[in-house]
Amino acid sequence: MFSRRAFLTGAASLAAAPGLAAPPLTSLRPPVRPDGFYRRVLPSGAELVARARLGGQVGYAVADAATGEMLEVFNPLLAMPPASVAKAVTCAYGLQRLGPGYRFRTRLVADGPIVNGRLDGDLWLVGSGDPLLDTDALAAMVAELEGYGLREVTGRLMLADGALPQIFEIDPGQPPHVGYNPSISGLNLNFNRVHFEWAREADDYTVSMDARSESLRPAVRIARMRIEDRAAPVYTYAQVEGMDQWTVARGALGDTGARWLPVRRPSAYVAEVFETLMRVAGMRFGGVELATAAGPRAAPSSAVVLVEHVSDPLEDILRGMMRWSTNLTAEVVGLLATQAGGLRPLSLEQSAGAMSDWMRDSLGARHAAFVDHSGLGDRSRLRAHDMVRALLASGPNGLLRQLMRDIPMLDQRGNVIRDHPVGVVAKTGTLNFVSSLAGFVRTPGGRDLAFAIFCGDVDRRAALSEAERERPPGARSYNAAAKGLQQQLIERWALVHP
């Protein structure tokens, strides 16, 4: 057992060690110290920040989660990129506007009568923005059409994606090939990513692009890959005749491998997979029509629902988002929350501005400035003090806390310290040379603290070339040092504010 007394002894190493705090390496029964000894020997928060030598700037704030009393601050009004900590704000925004029981509904609706297995009209696939819809779910919807005995559609397969605006990418500053920066639409599939796989055969490669899910992997033509003889860049992207045309450097491939690439035309991606699944099921139809700005983006009001795929409740979806930090989910929820407030946004930045206003009006965060809902864009700014206010508003045992994941405490070797007496649930945030953490601490004495720590070397990040943006030199060591500082601060607070 890693006892509270052992924690006190190990945490005293904060006074000397520059790295992570560690469990005691000798006796678990230290001599009794006078009251207040640990408070006197512990370094201040400012000293811990100085020792970390991160470069850039650091801001933090910590408060009593029950009373709201601000206990300790360091540059609390410094506006920093929150990275994925922004998702915690998006959670609160979505829960308040949509409710924890909100569900996404994807429907197949008939614009005409069905007689003897024949639909005299169009079959519509109507999206609601569901960020978790995948190929398996779409295939299950097609299979349900058999319950109607449907075998033929005299009209077309129509796709209605007007539930959300069409957004080409979350953050234009990201490398073109990263799968965590997809497009957004009212119809999303497989997180709007396509699976690229390659294998060496003799002196060449075979490549495949498919809409992979847990049990299916239909090939797609909407995304194409060409291997080119060059050293750099590894990937290039262009739209060619409505297709996602990718190229990859031959020397970067090795023997075999795979990765997810973003899809830039989600509706066309869904349309191709839907058409494939319908043909595999033996359905006959007159063609497929994509939604366009000039064409229909909603099914007729008279259309009849044949099949409905209903998502899990929003509460569960957000719990998964907080665990896996899925950017598409955050953006979809943020856009829908903005629409629920009466604004029909045309861009992520417009919707994120509405979330900034909401945070100011609802939580008193006067200086929040978001450019998206996921934190992927590094132009968003948030103050540690304002983030702590948002956590306090959610309550020490509120739903937001329940959606956060456990953050383990580590020893100097990076191993998890089991049974550590300090409990932390929080949302992490990481960009190159940006590391943030915000959430709740439960001290060994049972006191609940709300905290936010923002670390960032914004100038160093801004100086990166496009080729360096995915894995820049020094980013990993910066992140490790920032996480070490965050743990040291948490351990300090647990001792100073028990």
Task: Kindly state the average pLDDT of the residues 61-88.
Answer: 97
Quick one: pLDDT at residue 21? 43
Q: pLDDT by residue (tens digit) across 139-171? A: 999 999 988 889 999 999 999 999 999 999 999
At 35 the pLDDT is: 53
In this predicted model, what pLDDT tens digit does every residue of 366-384 receive, in sequence order?
889 999 999 999 999 999 9
Judged against a pLDDT cut of 90, whether residue 182 lies above it is answered with: yes
On whether the CB atoms of residues 100 and 315 are closer than 8 A, the answer is yes
Is the pLDDT higher at 454 or at 363?
454
Q: CA dihedral in degrees (419, 421, 425, 428; nearest 10)? A: -80
Residue 344 in this model has a pLDDT that exceeds 70 = yes
- pLDDT band with cut points at 50, 70 and 90 for residue 8: low
Which range, of 54-68, 355-369, 375-389, averages the lowest pLDDT? 355-369
Quote the pTM value: 0.92
Distance CA 70, CA 376 (A): 29
pLDDT cut 70: percent of the chain above it: 91
On average, the pLDDT of the chain sits at: 91
| Both structure tokens of 296 | 């229909």
- The angle formed by the CA atoms of residues 77, 80 and 82, to the nearest 5 degrees, is 120
Segment of 113-117, 188-192, 292-296, 494-498 carrying the highest mean pLDDT: 188-192
The 8-class DSSP code of residue 251 comes to G
Q: Among candidates 415, 384, 390, which has minimal Cα distance to 404?
A: 390
> DSSP string spanning 262-285?
E-S-HHHHHHHHHHHHHHHTT-B-
Q: For 89-104, what is each residue's pLDDT tens digit? A: 999 999 999 999 999 9
In sequence order, what are the residues at sequence separation of 6 or more whose Cβ sits closer than 8 angstroms to the Cβ of residue 333? 90, 91, 93, 94, 98, 131, 314, 317, 318, 321, 373
| For range 451-479, the mean pLDDT | 91
If one counts every other C-beta atom within 10 angstroms of the C-beta of residue 381, the result is 19
Q: Name the residue with tokens 């949509």.
A: 98
pLDDT for the residue 9: 54
Q: What is the pLDDT of residue 412?
A: 83
Domain with CATH 3.50.80.20 in the chain: 104-311
**With 50 as the cut, is the pLDDT of residue 208 above it?**
yes
Query: Quick one: pLDDT at residue 34?
Result: 44
Quote the percentage of the chain above a pLDDT of 90.
Answer: 81
Q: Are 328 and 196 in contact (CB under 8 A)?
A: no
Q: Does domain 4-100+315-496 have CATH number 3.60.15.10?
A: no
Q: Which residues contact 299 (CB under 8 A, 6 or more apart)?
A: 109, 111, 124, 126, 158, 160
Sign of CA dihedral 387, 379, 408, 315: positive
Q: Where in the chain is the domain with CATH 3.40.710.10?
A: 4-100+315-496
pLDDT digits (tens, 9 = 90+) for 224-237: 999 999 988 999 99
Tell which wins on pLDDT, 5 or 349.
349
- Could you tell me which CATH number the domain at 104-311 has? 3.50.80.20
pLDDT band at 413 (very low <50, low <70, confident <90, very high): confident
Query: What is the C-alpha to C-alpha distance for residues 96 and 362, in angstroms, rounded to an integer?
Result: 10
Contact 206, 225 (CB under 8 A): no
Q: Within 10 Å of residue 3's Cβ, how many Cβ atoms?
A: 14
Q: Tell me what the mean pLDDT of segment 74-90 comes to.
A: 96
Rounded Cα–Cα distance for residues 439 and 405 (Å)? 9
